[in-house]
Structure 1
Amino acid sequence: MASADFFTRLVALNAVGPNNLRPPSSEGNGGVSMVYECPRCYATHDFESSAVECCPPSQKWRCDSCQEVHYDEDEAENCCPELVSPAITYQPMQCPICMREADSFEVAADCCLHTHPTMTALGRWRVAELVESGTPWAEAIAQNINH
């Protein structure tokens, strides 16, 4: 059985890892960035010079949250409106241990944390509630490690 410290270290490591969903960008023009798409190969490039080297570019807009490319700026800005709220820190709806996506924060908290040696079902429920309100996974788990 894994120790409580194992879970704490693993969640902290996963929080900074490349497997997390991207939070909305606080820079730029509302969470979108302009990209150039090659009309022949459909590859997107961040810089016009890179696109010109590949194929003649056409200007499009990419949502910084989900990386979907749109034909106009307004469409890209409205792509992920649920992630743009600046008052709440975005936390991924995925298990903090195995990084599997979930349908809710409760399901994400139950996924692997049910094996935590000192956390009960009530503790997992509290973790899910805190994470849903914007608390980072590692902090929410630390607050409920013995509940």
Structure 2
Amino acid sequence: MASADFFTRLVALNAVGPNKIQPSTPGGSGAVSKAYECQGCYATHDFEDDAAECCPPLEKWKCGACNQVHFDEDDAESCCPELVSAASDYQPMQCPVCMRGAESFEIAADCCLHTHPTMTALGRWRVAELVESGTPWADAIAQNVNH
């Protein structure tokens, strides 16, 4: 079983690099991206070829901050202006350990932190609440390591 220190170091390392949302730049991380939705199964794909293999695609647009799918590019660009403008304060909605995307901060906190040796369900809930309010993942976990 991994030690509590392992999780603390891994999350801190991820927060410095890949587990950080960058300010929105054209074509960069956090930018609006095109998405393709299958007409038959409604699955969303990042690439047209993937969608074409699944079902005939409908072109849609995905918000760069929350990944919500929109019919119009302008709607996607105006979806989360407060998150894009405050990208340095916004934490990504993904597991801080394996970096898998999640539909909520609670799901993200439960993903791998459920194996944390000293953190309980209440601690993970507190972590999710702190992160949702803008606290970096590493700080939120450090505050709740023994909860």
TM-score, normalised with respect to structure 1: 0.63
Q: Match for residue 68 of structure 1?
A: 33
Quick one: structure 1 residues 85 and 112, their matched pair in 2 at CA, closer, same or farther if it must change by over 3 Å?
same
**1:84: Cα distance to partner?**
2.9
TM-score, normalised with respect to structure 2: 0.63
Where do 5+ consecutive residues of structure 2 fail to align?
Answer: 35-60, 62-72
Amino acid at match of 1:65: G
1:88–1:133 contact (8 Å) kept in structure 2: no
Q: Match for residue 125 of structure 2?
A: 125
Quick one: structure 1 residues 32 and 17, their matched pair in 2 at CA, closer, same or farther if it must change by over 3 Å?
closer
Amino acid at match of 1:126: R
**1:8: Cα distance to partner?**
0.3
Quick one: structure 1 residues 130 and 88, their matched pair in 2 at CA, closer, same or farther if it must change by over 3 Å?
farther
**1:16: Cα distance to partner?**
1.7
Q: Match for residue 145 of structure 1?
A: 145
**1:109 maps to 2:113:** no
1:11–1:138 contact (8 Å) kept in structure 2: yes
Amino acid at match of 1:68: S
Q: How does 1:1-147 map to 2 (within 5 A)?
A: 1-18=1-18, 20=19, 22-23=21-22, 25=23, 31-33=24-26, 62=27, 65-66=30-31, 68=33, 75=74, 78=78, 80-86=80-86, 89-147=89-147
Q: Percent identity?
A: 74
Aligned residues: 109
Give the number of the structure whose alpha-carbon radius of gyration is greater.
1
Quick one: structure 1 residues 68 and 90, their matched pair in 2 at CA, closer, same or farther if it must change by over 3 Å?
same
Partners of 1:87 and 1:100 lie apart in 2 by 19
CA RMSD of superposed structures (Å): 2.8
**1:9: Cα distance to partner?**
0.5
Where do 5+ consecutive residues of structure 1 fail to align?
Answer: 26-30, 34-61
Amino acid at match of 2:119: M
